[in-house]
Amino acid sequence: MGVSSNPHSANNHSHHHTHKVFLFCNYILLGAASSCIFLTLSLRLLPSLCGFFFILLNILTAAGAISGCAAASSDSSRWYGAHMVATVLTAIFQGSVSVLIFTRASNFLRNLKSYVREEDGVVILKLAGGLCVLIFCLEWVVLTLAFFLKYYAYVEGDNCTPPMKRSAKVAQEEDLKDWPWPFQV
Please give the chain's pLDDT, 185 residues, in tens: 444 444 445 556 677 888 888 889 889 999 999 998 888 888 876 667 887 888 899 999 998 888 887 776 666 667 777 778 888 999 999 999 999 989 988 888 887 777 788 888 888 889 999 999 999 999 999 989 888 888 877 777 654 444 444 444 555 555 556 655 555 55
In the prediction, which pLDDT does 155 show?
78
DSSP summary character for residue 162: P
Helix (H) or strand (E) holding 93: helix 77-103
Please tell me the distance from the alpha carbon of residue 55 to that of residue 49, in angstroms, as a whole number: 10
145: closest CA among 98, 92, 94, 83?
A: 83
69: which residues sit within 8 A by CB, 6+ positions away? Answer: 23, 26, 27
The alpha carbon of residue 40 and the mean position of all alpha carbons in its chain are separated, in whole angstroms, by: 23
- pTM for the model: 0.72
Please tell me the distance from the alpha carbon of residue 99 to that of residue 19, in angstroms, as a whole number: 31
In the prediction, which pLDDT does 108 show?
80
